[in-house]
Amino acid sequence: MKKRTTRIIIAAIALIFLSLLGYMGIIFAGNYVIDEKDLVMSSATTLVDDKGDVITKLYAQNRELVEIEDIPEHVQQAFIAVEDRRFYDHSGIDYQAIGRALYKDILAGGKVEGGSTITQQLAKNIFLSHDKTWLRKTKEAIIAINLERKYTKKEILEMYLNQIYFGHGAYGIQSASKLFFDKEVGELTLEEGALLAGLPKAPNGYSPIDHPEKSKKRRDLVLSLMADVDFISAEQAVRAQGKTISLHVHRLEKNPAYLTYIDMVLDEAKKRYSLSSMEVLKGGYKIAVPMNPAAQKTSYKAFQNDTYFNGSDKSVSPQGAFVLMDPNKGGVLAVQGGRDYVRQGFNRVTAKRQPGSTFKPLAVYGPALEMKKWEPYSLLKDERLDYGGYTPENYDGNYQGTVSMYEAIVDSINAPAVWLLNKIGMSRSLEYLQKLGMDVNERQLGVALGGLDKGVSPLQIASAFSAFANEGSRVEPYFIQAIYDRDGKLIEETNPKEKKVFSKQTAWYMTKMLRSVMTDGTGKKGDVNTDLAGKTGTTTFEQVDGANKDLWFAGYTPKAVGAVWIGYDRTTKQRYMEGSSSDPTVMFKDILKEIPEQQKLAFQKPKGVKDLEPPIEMVAIDDLSAQFAFSRFGVPGVELTWTASEDERLMYKIYINTEDGPEKVDTVIGEGSYTVVSPKLFTFPEFYVVPYNPLTKKDGEPSNTISTSAFN
């Protein structure tokens, strides 16, 4: 008897020891299998505008993490009732459920039912595959036991409710609540919570969107199970089961209008914050962006309109790029990288092209004005000249001898731009181009007309023109205003970066001249309901007569600066542009008309700068006449009369032809008559008048000549 007792004690000790070893093995194995980094669930990153309104979401899985305290108790109970009614009583494994499942498996001759707890489901979904094998179930149990050791029941339930899939792309209880009911999880009613609790078993099969009847039956079952375990009363269950399914579906559509902007946000996140694209998609960040949704959508719509894209090859559409940014801070308001842009595709906003005449204000006229030697009405040579083998030509083949800087800009005349660049020097031009953010090193006069080997991008052009819009300071474009982590903590906020390039005076002079481009020059086609300054640009395709390669417009209002490029990605003899720079110009204006913030704006002259007088138009005088008259002192004389300009600033020089040649008598300002009193009248001289522009200091053509001999 004594020996038997001893053997029992030894066996019991051995069993306890083996059990202890087994338990320690489970703990060790669980610790080995569990990697807490896997418990960090991916959640959607939200893009918001400057008002905090959601623009779109970026995600690998559409999930919004929510704390258990924010999930109503009746919603928690619904999941426990249907998935694991003994959740608060077991330690990760429900042996009663396992026994029931084993019994049914044996009867069926295979695995047909699981006895998995919520903890086991969490272990399976995060750490394991979904294969129904005994090895996987063993690992699942080991992990579940260790999860229960490390985390509280509330923590496990929180992880579970945030992790599970509800169908239609929604992961986690918060995303599901917003998808099916367009409300926060904390606002879910009893029947809504029960409906969601019934989905994880078969998200597609029980979808209330696709299968409302099946979804209602499943919901009613969950309500009955809640009543069975006394989470709700029988009456509450009956009342809730009597309600129909009422959805308010809020699908998170992927708007193609946002694709370029999203890519540029991801690029900036990588460069500035060292965040990979995948980290942004999974990290649950909130990113405040300076996007103007109206501008973004309107520009996308414009890019679908064939009216602006006139190419020779009707089977292949020309492409385009558009960017609009805040001229004072640099935030990008809208951007389109192509007509059919795809995620991570070829982005034409950053692709470099020859900028054509949009480069003239940047490379020539702005730097020249800074020298103080040149002013808007300074005369420039407009002749077909040879510069060591380089002979720039005007587009229309006409040359006026001299024109003012103002005229050269408004009418986009080539010869004066090259002549002036030759005068100010390439070094000075390149110095300013570097300040404007463009790495141009070509030391050739063709730079005046945008003749670059590598070219510049629409984003660079828009940023460069911000120097004129922002009182002489160029601003760096950016796409991320501020970025917050998943806990709402600010990681970093963007401070606008600007660089002083031009004086306020130069910027204002350029604004006034570029405004005239839009009202009287090459940019006047189309209409817009705001002050707009800008410059057109075209690069020709010399292999085909009359063909163009790149069509440009760059311009700004008091609140926005931007650029448009239109052309083929690759120009050939069969594929070239048949349109002109009017196409991007009209597009830019049409986009502005659809942006509420860009209506009825007016440029305001900065304090401390001189205003630019409007140009004086020269007149031709061919009706000079004369008659005898008396001066106001009663002295006989000759009264000359002619049709004067309505612009009273125009001056008129009076000349008399004598035996010794022409002699200037006087100058009249803004009047069309003058009485000559001179002893030379008795020699019957001839008279003529020459109009004179005091802004350009340029004489016009002499009038017809009138002789007093006709009075004899």
Each residue's pLDDT tens digit, 601-624: 999 999 999 999 999 999 999 999
How far is it, in rounded angstroms, from Cα 166 to Cα 168?
Answer: 7
CATH number at residue 68: 1.10.3810.10
- Angle formed by the axes of helices 212-228 and 190-197, to 10°? 110
How far is it, in rounded angstroms, from Cα 588 to Cα 530?
Answer: 12
43, 215, 357, 378: which one is catalytic?
Answer: 357
pLDDT band for position 700 (cuts 50, 70, 90): very high
Residue pair 161/79 in contact by the 8 Å Cβ criterion: yes
Same domain, 19 and 80: no
Same domain, 119 and 1: no
42, 43, 64, 83: which one is catalytic?
Answer: 83
Domain ranges, residue 379: 356-451
Between 10 and 553, residue with greater pLDDT: 553
How far is it, in rounded angstroms, from Cα 467 to Cα 461?
Answer: 10
Percent of the chain surpassing pLDDT 70:
88
Same domain, 89 and 184: yes
N-terminal to C-terminal alpha carbon distance within the chain: 169
Q: Indicate whether 57 belongs to any domain.
A: no
Mean pLDDT value of segment 158-169: 92
pLDDT in tens, 286-330: 999 999 999 999 999 999 999 999 999 989 999 999 999 999 999
- Per the annotation, the verdict on 83 as an active-site residue is yes
Residue environment code for 415-435, b if the CB has 16+ CB neighbours within 10 A, otherwise e: bbbbbbbbebebebbbebbeb
Same domain, 13 and 96: no
Same domain, 85 and 201: yes
pLDDT band for position 637 (cuts 50, 70, 90): confident
Average pLDDT over the chain, rounded to an integer: 89
pLDDT of 28 higher than 90: no
Same domain, 28 and 122: no
Tell me what pLDDT residue 5 has: 58
Q: Which of 241, 264, 279 delimits the end of a domain?
A: 241
Q: Is the dihedral of CA 360, 361, 365, 367 positive or negative?
A: negative
pLDDT of 24 higher than 80: no
Task: Look up residue 103 and give its two tokens.
Answer: 């019994």
Tell me what pLDDT residue 477 has: 98
How far is it, in rounded angstroms, from Cα 80 to Cα 222?
Answer: 10
Tell me what pLDDT residue 17 has: 45
**Residues near 576 by Cβ (< 8 Å), separated by ≥ 6?**
311, 312, 541, 544, 547, 548, 549, 568
Same domain, 77 and 198: yes
Q: Indicate whether 58 belongs to any domain.
A: no
Sequence letter at residue 519: T
pLDDT of 18 higher than 50: no
Mean pLDDT value of segment 627-643: 80
Q: Which candidate, 652, 519, 507, places its Cα nearest to that of 589?
A: 519
Q: Among 41-45, 680-684, 687-691, which stretch is predicted with the lowest mean pLDDT?
A: 680-684
Query: DSSP 3-state helix, strand, coil percentages of the chain (rounded to 5)?
Result: 40, 20, 40
Same domain, 90 and 222: yes
How is 274-331 classified by DSSP, letter by letter?
Answer: ---HHHHHHB--EEE----HHHHHHHHHHHT-GGG--BS-TTS--EEEEEEE-TTT-B
Same domain, 14 and 86: no
Q: Indicate whether 186 belongs to any domain.
A: yes
Tell me what pLDDT residue 467 has: 98
Q: Indicate whether 375 belongs to any domain.
A: yes
Burial bucket for residue 106 (CB in 10 Å: 0-12, 13-18, 19+):
exposed
Tell me what pLDDT residue 104 has: 59
Same domain, 105 and 225: yes
Task: Look up residue 471 and give its two tokens.
Answer: 């009182």
pLDDT of 225 higher than 90: yes
Strand partners, 334: 324
Q: Indicate whether 416 belongs to any domain.
A: yes
Q: Which of 212, 241, 270 delimits the end of a domain?
A: 241
- Per the annotation, the verdict on 42 as an active-site residue is no
Q: Among 125-134, 216-225, 308-317, 353-362, which stretch is predicted with the lowest mean pLDDT?
A: 125-134
Tell me what pLDDT residue 635 has: 72
Q: Indicate whether 638 belongs to any domain.
A: yes
Tell me what pLDDT residue 22 has: 47
pLDDT in tens, 462-482: 999 999 999 999 999 999 999
Q: Indicate whether 409 belongs to any domain.
A: yes
Tell me what pLDDT residue 43 has: 87
Percent of the chain surpassing pLDDT 90:
74
The strands making up 673-676's β-sheet, listed across from edge to edge, are 625-630, 636-641, 673-676
Task: Look up residue 522 and give its two tokens.
Answer: 């090459």
Q: Which helix (H) or strand (E) holds 482?
A: strand 482-484
pLDDT of 689 higher than 50: yes
Q: Which candidate, 342, 187, 175, places its Cα nearest to that of 258?
A: 342
pLDDT of 37 higher than 70: no
Tell me what pLDDT residue 661 has: 85
Q: What are phi and psi of 503, to 5 degrees?
A: -75, 165
Residue pair 405/380 in contact by the 8 Å Cβ criterion: yes
This prediction's pTM: 0.83
Helices (H) and strands (E) in the chain, counts: 21, 25
pLDDT of 253 higher than 70: no
pLDDT of 113 higher than 60: no
Q: Indicate whether 157 belongs to any domain.
A: yes
Task: Look up residue 151 and give its two tokens.
Answer: 């985390």
Mean pLDDT value of segment 385-403: 95
Q: Which of 419, 451, 483 delimits the end of a domain?
A: 451
Same domain, 26 and 111: no
pLDDT band for position 27 (cuts 50, 70, 90): very low
Tell me what pLDDT residue 344 has: 84
Q: Number of structural domains, the chain?
A: 4
Q: Which candidate, 277, 204, 220, places its Cα nearest to that of 58?
A: 277
Mean pLDDT value of segment 254-270: 94
Same domain, 87 and 224: yes
Tell me what pLDDT residue 23 has: 45
Mean pLDDT value of segment 335-351: 94
How far is it, in rounded angstroms, from Cα 195 to Cα 205?
Answer: 13
Count of CA atoms in the C-beta half-sphere (13 A) of 259: 17
Task: Look up residue 581 and give its two tokens.
Answer: 């720079």
pLDDT band for position 257 (cuts 50, 70, 90): very high
Residue pair 181/192 in contact by the 8 Å Cβ criterion: yes
How is 106-124 classified by DSSP, letter by letter?
Answer: HHHTS-------HHHHHHH
Strand partners, 404: 379
